Structure formats: structure tokens, C-alpha cells
Structure 1
Amino acid sequence: MNSKSMQSHHIHYASLGSPWSAKADKIQSATGIMLGCFLLAHLHFESSILLGKEAFYHVVQFLEGGLFTSSGHGMPIVTKVFSIFIMLVVIVHAAVALRRFPAQLGQWRALRRHMQGIKHKDSHAWFWQLVTGFILFFLAPVHIFTMITNPEIGPHLSAERVYHANAWLLYALLLPAVVIHAMIGLYRVALKWGLTANRRGLRKVAKILIIYLISIGVLSLVSYLIIGRELTLPITPFVP
């Protein structure tokens, strides 16, 4: 091996083991855990619509700080500020994750051929996390930006957004992508940082959570569509 080759190899391995690479891994894991836990909570809060309009209304008032207002009504500014925070976390997470994305079409094709030739389940899980991450790069900011610019939430207001503003098209694509990406991500983080060595059991839990979360998400979306179809414009916010 000549000196030029040795130098290029030295640079290559140095970059792989650089302090920044280790730090980026920690940042990616930390932000991924934050976003995964947020998704678990978010889908369950949203699914309160399945218990009726009044149940969802009270959940929204509680989350928006209704306990701290004299009227008992929540403050939409809470949703706006929290949405901005989530957007910043998503940006940081995406920024450190992009370094692992195939940069060229040929690399994607090579990766796809490689995946077809192996039967390693964790490698296939990583591939689908990569694909869903690419989808979320375009869809997630749209949803979050909508919540920043229009933070009003309620049974009627949310149903108006879903049905009359046709946001169900976005959510129908976003829901499976974000659930699959998040659950595979939490699975990989748990293995990577040694939280468990039981791959088979953890993989089963991840699959159950994916099916469960997509199910309650779809049922919630259908509920909003049914409510929205019964509403007439202009929308009157729901009050028990």
C-alpha cells in the first residue's frame, strides 16, 4: 500500500471513529427517544376522540394548561410553543441522521439489491426505518408547521382540519410512516445502548406496538372524518 492510500485509509477510519461521530450518535438516540415517547403520548391523546367529543375537549383543555386559568379553558399558545419545540427537535434529529442516508440514486439501488440478498431481520428493519425517515423528511414538517400557524384544537376544529381542509390525505400517509419509523428507532436504540439483549422479544413488542398505534390512529382519523362530515361551515367550536 502506497503512502497516498495509507493516508486516505487513515482519514477514512479517523472520520468513522471521530469524537463528533460518537456525539452525533448520542444526539440522534436522545432526540429519537424524545420523539418516540412524544408519538406514543400524542396518539393516545388524539384517540380520546373515540370516547366522544366531550372527552377529547377536556383532554385538550388539560394539555393546554386549563388548570392554570381562571376560566378553566386551555391556551392555544401552549400548543404553538410546544409545536415549535418539537420542530426544533425534529430538525436536530434529521440533521444528525442525514449523515447515514445514501446520497445518490446508485447507492439506493445498491442498498436495495443488498437487502434482497440477505435475510437479517435487523438489517431489513434498518432499511424500512431509512425509507420512512425519507418520507417523514417531507411530511412531518408540514404537519408541525400547521400546528404552529393554526394551533386551535378541539373536536370541531380538528374535524374541520381533517375533513374540510382535506388534511386526512396528509395524515393517511404520515401515520404509518411515523409509527414504523419511531417504533423501529426505539427498538434499535434499546439494543444499541444495551437496555436489553432479547432481540426476538423486543422485535415482537415493536410489531405489536406498530399494529396497535396504527389501529388507534386510523380509528381516530375516521372519527374526525365522521364528525367533520356532519359539520356545516363556518365551524362553531365545540363547548360541552
Structure 2
Amino acid sequence: MENVIEAYTGVTTQGKKSRTPAKLDMWLTGTGVFLALFMMGHMLFVSTILLGKDVMYKVTKLFELEFLFEGGIPAIVSVLVFAISAIFIIHAILGVRKFPISYKSYLKINEHSKMMKHSDTSMWMFQWISGLVMMFAAMIHLFIMFTQPQNIGPFASAYRVVENHMWLLYVVLLICVEIHGSVGLYRAAMKWGWFDGENPKETRAKLLKVKKILSFVFLTLGVVTLLAYIKIGLENDIAPGQKYKPEVTSLHTIEK
């Protein structure tokens, strides 16, 4: 109980100030920045479908280490997903400390936000709301990727999006993840002063502009990518478990 009080208030039961909240904030920032950068890379990976089904297939096989093992090992993806899930859970637990603990607390914060009309406060509101949504929606996606690593590819992914009606979940995740990530990077830079210069107001304005650009670029890329998978799913009569078969089916064959 003493540890809980210390983590939330920064004061020990003996009345001394504690560094625990600051350390937890550092871990929250560290895991958050890692996940935000990972999600940007993840979006670039799934968007390779825009370059063609063969390109997306080859990148998928690259993650399965087909250049080392003939045919690739999908289980390697499960290991990666497990690691990301662990970091995500740690980040979520640390983030819960920032959530309103009751509906009355939420109403007070919401009233405070409307009264201030401050963009950073509004972004913080979106942070914890989107974080709450992702605690459930993201875990569904991670569970599917962990248990079905072999079903990642042009046809398998398109089948999941269209036939399994996962497009709705992905729309929610796209909005929450991409904006949550860009806002998180912006707020982390502001909080810890990573890019502070001689003019803090000018720095804030520049970082806010970068945040808006990141949000727009990755949201647009995400929508176009999702539409591409939907198009593939609708245009092809894909059977459950059907794998895409390019003309060259192995990276070893490509090398030969």
C-alpha cells in the first residue's frame, strides 16, 4: 500500500518526497516512444501492399527469416508480437496512473479542458481516451497476430479484413494508434525538453506542426492501405487459409 501511495502522490508515508513518480514517468515515456516508432514502422510494412502483392509477400517472408530458413518460420513473428505485447502492457499499466479514477474526476477534467481551451490539454484528453480504447482493441489484434502468424500476407490479410469483418476494428485502431502515437511523441518532447532552444514558444509551434504532419501522413497512408486490402479481398475469391503464391515463391530462388 505504501508503494501505491508513493507512486501516485510522490510522497512516502513518512512525508518525504519520492523519485518514484518521475521514474515511472520516464518508463512511461520510454515505452511510449518505442511503441510510437514501432507503429510507424509497422504502418510502413503493411503499406507495402501499395507497391504490389509480390512486394508485400517478400517483406512478410523477410520477417520470417526466409533468407536463413527455407520457407521461413512464421513463429518468429509470434515471438516479436509477444515482445511488443509485453511492452504494450507495461506502457498501459504505467499510463493508467494518469487516468481519471472516477466519472466525477473525468467531468472535472473535461470542464477544465473546455474552460482553458488549450490544445495540449485537449490532446491529453484524447491520449487517455484513445489509450483506454487501445487497451482492448489492440490486444485483440495482437492476439490474432500471435496465434496466427502464418496468416499474414496479401491474401490472408485481405481475407481477414473483408471476410472476417476486421476492417471495423482496424479503422478504430488506425485512428487511435496513429494519433495517440504522434501526440505522445509531441508531448514527450515538450515534457522532457528534448528540442528546447532559445525560444520555447517557437519550439512548441514547430513540434506541433511536425505532430500534425505525422498524424496526417500516417492516417492517410493507413486509410489508403486498408482500402487496398479491401480491394484485394473483394476482387479475389480467397478461401480460408489460402496463401498468396507469387511467381517467385522463395527468396532463395530469387538469389539463384
Counterpart CA distance in 1 for 2:240 and 2:135 is: 33
Q: How many Å apart are 1:235 and its aligned residue?
A: 4.7
Runs of 4+ in 1 over 3 A off after TM superposition: none
Q: Indicate yes or no: 2:118 matched with 1:113.
A: no
Instruction: Tell me the number of residue pairs that the alignment of Structure 1 and Structure 2 aligns.
Output: 228
Counterpart CA distance in 1 for 2:50 and 2:74 is: 22
Q: How many Å apart are 1:74 and its aligned residue?
A: 2.7
Q: Indicate yes or no: 2:211 matched with 1:206.
A: yes
Aligned sequence identity (%): 36
What corresponds to 2:67 in structure 1? 67
Q: Indicate yes or no: 2:135 matched with 1:129.
A: no
Q: Indicate yes or no: 2:157 matched with 1:158.
A: yes
Counterpart CA distance in 2 for 1:231 and 1:204 is: 41
Contact 1:136–1:177 (CA<8 Å) still a contact in 2?
Answer: yes
Q: How many Å apart are 1:78 and its aligned residue?
A: 1.3
Q: How many Å apart are 1:210 and its aligned residue?
A: 0.5
Contact 1:28–1:93 (CA<8 Å) still a contact in 2?
Answer: yes
Counterpart CA distance in 1 for 2:173 and 2:31 is: 19
What corresponds to 2:253 in structure 1? none
* Residues 1:181 and 1:234: Cα distance change in structure 2 (over 3 Å): closer
Q: Of residues 74, 98, 101 in structure 1, which corresponds to 2:99?
A: 101
Q: How many Å apart are 1:236 and its aligned residue?
A: 2.6
* Residues 1:29 and 1:48: Cα distance change in structure 2 (over 3 Å): same
Contact 1:60–1:74 (CA<8 Å) still a contact in 2?
Answer: no
Gaps of 5+ in 2: 1-7, 197-202, 247-256
What corresponds to 1:3 in structure 2? none
Q: Indicate yes or no: 2:108 matched with 1:90.
A: no
Letter in 1 for 2:126: W
Letter in 2 for 1:239: K
What corresponds to 1:238 in structure 2? 244
Counterpart CA distance in 1 for 2:235 and 2:194 is: 48
Residues 72-129 of structure 1: CA deviation (Å, up to 9, x unaligned): x332111111111111001100111101100111111111111111122211211111
What corresponds to 1:77 in structure 2? 75
Query: TM-score w.r.t. structure 2 length?
Result: 0.85
Q: How many Å apart are 1:156 and its aligned residue?
A: 0.4
Q: CA RMSD in A?
A: 1.6
Gaps of 5+ in 1: 1-10
What corresponds to 1:29 in structure 2? 29
Contact 1:128–1:181 (CA<8 Å) still a contact in 2?
Answer: yes
Q: How many Å apart are 1:27 and its aligned residue?
A: 0.8
Q: Of residues 194, 214, 231 in structure 2, which corresponds to 1:226?
A: 231
